[in-house]
């Protein structure tokens, strides 16, 4: 069974991609924006702050209610559906961290 996506898993994935181009902040010059892809619904969600402003990193707080599984009492997102994958959007297409890293190497 797949784990729910939570801030700790997001941080671990980001740490695993340091200096590869598969981490937010390392590939924005190529037009990549932090995003989430829902494999169950084929929906793409850009990463945003809770108020809807675009976020420079992967944040769960701006995701729509239909993907949120657990919220804290103050409204912070604790976990989202296991079918969500963190990656990047570029020109309307979703890139996994690995594919964004590969593109970053090849497009330098």
- Give the domain ranges of the chain: 7-106
Rounded to an integer, the average pLDDT of 7-11 is: 94
What is the 8-class DSSP label of residue 30? G
CA distance 105 to 5: 27
The Cβ-side half-sphere exposure at 56, using a 13 Å CA radius, reads: 4
CA 27 to chain centre: 13
Percent of the chain, pLDDT > 90? 95
Rounded to an integer, the average pLDDT of 24-47 is: 96
Cβ atoms within 10 A of the Cβ of 96, count?
14
pLDDT band at 2 (very low <50, low <70, confident <90, very high): confident
């Amino acid at each position: 069974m797949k784990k729910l996506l939570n801030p700790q898993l997001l941080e671990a994935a980001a740490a695993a991609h340091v200096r590869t181009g598969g981490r937010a902040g390392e590939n924005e010059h190529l037009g990549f924006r932090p995003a989430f892809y829902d494999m169950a619904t084929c929906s793409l969600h850009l990463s945003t702050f809770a108020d809807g402003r675009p976020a420079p990193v992967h944040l769960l707080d701006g995701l729509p209610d239909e993907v949120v599984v657990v919220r804290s009492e103050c409204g912070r997102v604790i976990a989202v559906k296991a079918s969500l994958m963190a990656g990047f959007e570029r020109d309307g297409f979703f890139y996994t961290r690995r594919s964004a890293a590969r593109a970053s190497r090849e497009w330098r």
